[in-house]
């Protein structure tokens, strides 16, 4: 309070008179009750019996009420909740086990299906390959046959042609001889001559 | 009334509401008694009403009640073990009573029950009385081992026992004075700063401008007092748990 009065002295000139008057009233009012009371109230022994009595009554009733009504109730709520949580956790772990089993079964089935699919694919591939092989062999055989035929024809044509080369040479030779010499050479002579040249 | 407002001690005065006098003792129903009743009613009603739905998934208020319950329960179990749980209702009542009394005291014009040394001393004496009575009931004279620590050389023993006895005797004093002094000092400071606001704003424009500072201080102090209200209830309960642990396990 002495701080307030110090403030008042500082700022009183700045404030107008009516405010200063109010301040004065407040100030004088504050100091009076503080001096009027002799003992500091919390240390006044006259109030002790009454406070202790009422503390005992109120706190005693409070204790009994909490012990009999509130705490069993709150404890019960928490216990029920814990039970429920344990139960739910158990159920959850059970369900998780089931889900895991289902996943494992699914994966096993998937692996089996994959193996099966691979086998089927392999089989189909082998069959197709074998078929293709036989078809190829057939075609190759046919081509070989055709090739042989063609070669035989070519060689017969060649032989025929070679045979004809001799007679053509004889004819040509007899014609040349006729034209150059003017006489006829015997067929045997010409043939012998052609043969010797051809050799 | 305006004058009373600036007197920081006025809030601790005890007024008789219903005068009662028995056998020469003044047992009047005072404002202090009124606020004890209010504390008990508020705390009990809060705990009772918020848990009345017994919801599996608690609402906000039910959570608060459960948190207080489990908070004190864990505190007691940590300090005194599962054996200490027989004192759970006692410690929980103490904690809730002190906490609600402290919090109610923060309301303007409300009386702070815990700002009177006799109230806190009554509670502390109850705690120490429980410790002593239970300690002797359970261990007989073995409870006195509390004052004789293990492994102390014989020539030091008288000194150590003396120190232990003094420390035990000073427990109710420290327990009660800690709570009382914290509440008293906090409320006086709050009142002084709030008083500055009133006195300064009576000085006109400059005063009103200047009163912003003590007002900010009062706001900050209110927050601090809120913390102190909880903290002191917690400290009171924790120390109670530790003292009860001594009653359960007197050997160090």
Higher pLDDT, A168 or A107: A107
Mean pLDDT of B185-198: 90
Higher pLDDT, B188 or A43: B188
**A192 lies in a domain?**
yes
**A75 lies in a domain?**
no
Domain total of chain A: 1
When scoring B2, B7, B210 by the number of chain A Cβ atoms within 10 A, the one with the most, hence best to mutate, is B7
Closest by CA position to B115, among listed B240, B232, B224: B232
pLDDT tier, B148 (very low <50, low <70, confident <90, very high otherwise): confident
**A25 lies in a domain?**
no
Mean pLDDT of A143-167: 90
Does the pLDDT of residue A29 top 50, yes or no? no
The residues with which B22 forms a beta bridge, in sequence order, are B25
pLDDT of residue B6: 65
A30-44, B121-135, B187-201, B213-227: range with lowest mean pLDDT: A30-44
How remote is the C-alpha of B102 from its chain's centroid? Answer: 7
**A121 lies in a domain?**
no
Structural domain of A177: 158-198
Of all residues in chain A, the percent with pLDDT exceeding 90 is: 54
Of all residues in chain B, the percent with pLDDT exceeding 70 is: 97
Higher pLDDT, A191 or B180: B180
pLDDT in tens, A71-97: 999 999 999 999 999 999 999 999 999
How remote is the C-alpha of B229 from its chain's centroid? Answer: 8
Cβ atoms of residues A49 and B119 within 8 Å: no
pLDDT of residue A38: 64
* Three-state DSSP state, B29: strand
**A171 lies in a domain?**
yes
**A178 lies in a domain?**
yes
Does the pLDDT of residue A34 top 80, yes or no? no
**A170 lies in a domain?**
yes
Sort out which chain A residues have CB atoms less than 8 A from B115's CB and list them.
42
Cβ atoms of residues B209 and B153 within 8 Å: no
Closest by CA position to B236, among listed B105, B147, B123: B123
**A163 lies in a domain?**
yes
Report the predicted TM-score, pTM, of the whole model to 2 decimal places.
0.69
Burial class (CB in 10 A: 0-12, 13-18, 19+), A4: buried
| CB proximity under 8 Å: A 15-44 to B | 15-16, 19-20, 22-23, 26-27, 29-30, 32-34, 37, 40-44
């Amino acid at each position: 309070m002495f701080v307030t009065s110090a403030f008042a002295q500082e700022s009183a000139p700045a404030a107008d008179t009516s405010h200063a008057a109010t301040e004065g009233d407040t100030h004088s009012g504050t100091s009076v009750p503080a001096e009027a009371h002799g003992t500091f109230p919390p240390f006044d022994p006259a109030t002790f019996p009454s406070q202790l009595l009422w503390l005992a009554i109120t706190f005693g009733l409070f204790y009994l009420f909490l012990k009999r009504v509130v705490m069993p109730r709150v404890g019960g709520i928490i216990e029920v909740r814990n039970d429920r949580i344990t139960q739910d956790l158990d159920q959850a772990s059970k369900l998780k086990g089931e889900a895991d089993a289902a996943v494992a079964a699914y994966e096993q089935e998937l692996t089996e299906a994959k193996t099966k699919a691979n086998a089927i694919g392999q089989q189909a591939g082998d069959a197709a390959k074998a078929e293709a092989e036989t078809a190829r062999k057939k075609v190759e055989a046919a081509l070989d046959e055709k090739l042989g035929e063609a070669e035989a024809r070519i060689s017969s044509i060649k032989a025929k042609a070679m045979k004809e080369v001799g007679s053509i040479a004889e004819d040509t030779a007899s014609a040349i001889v006729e034209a150059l010499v003017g006489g006829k050479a015997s067929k045997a002579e010409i043939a012998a001559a052609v043969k010797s040249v051809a050799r | 009334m305006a004058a009373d407002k600036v007197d920081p001690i006025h809030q601790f005065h005890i007024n008789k509401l219903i005068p009662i006098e028995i056998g020469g003792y003044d047992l009047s129903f005072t404002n202090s008694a009124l606020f004890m009743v209010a504390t008990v009613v508020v705390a009990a009603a809060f705990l009772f009403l918020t848990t009345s739905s017994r919801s599996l998934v608690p609402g906000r208020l039910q959570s608060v009640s459960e948190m207080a319950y489990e908070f004190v329960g864990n505190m007691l179990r940590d300090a005194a073990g599962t054996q200490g749980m027989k004192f759970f209702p006692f410690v929980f009542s103490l904690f809730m009573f002190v906490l609600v009394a402290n919090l109610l005291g923060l309301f303007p014009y409300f009386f702070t029950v815990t700002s009177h040394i006799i109230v806190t001393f009554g509670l502390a004496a109850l705690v120490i009385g429980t410790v002593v009575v239970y300690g002797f009931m359970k261990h007989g004279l073995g409870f006195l081992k509390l004052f004789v620590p293990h492994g102390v050389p014989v020539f030091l023993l008288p000194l150590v026992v003396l120190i232990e006895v003094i420390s035990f005797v000073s427990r109710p004093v420290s327990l009660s004075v800690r709570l009382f002094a914290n509440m008293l000092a906090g409320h006086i400071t709050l009142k002084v700063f709030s008083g500055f606001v009133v006195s300064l704003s009576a000085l006109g424009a400059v005063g009103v401008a200047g009163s912003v500072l003590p007002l900010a201080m009062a706001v900050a102090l209110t927050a601090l007092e809120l913390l102190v209200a909880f903290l002191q209830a917690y400290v009171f309960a924790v120390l109670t748990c530790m003292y009860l642990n001594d009653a359960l396990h007197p050997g160090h």
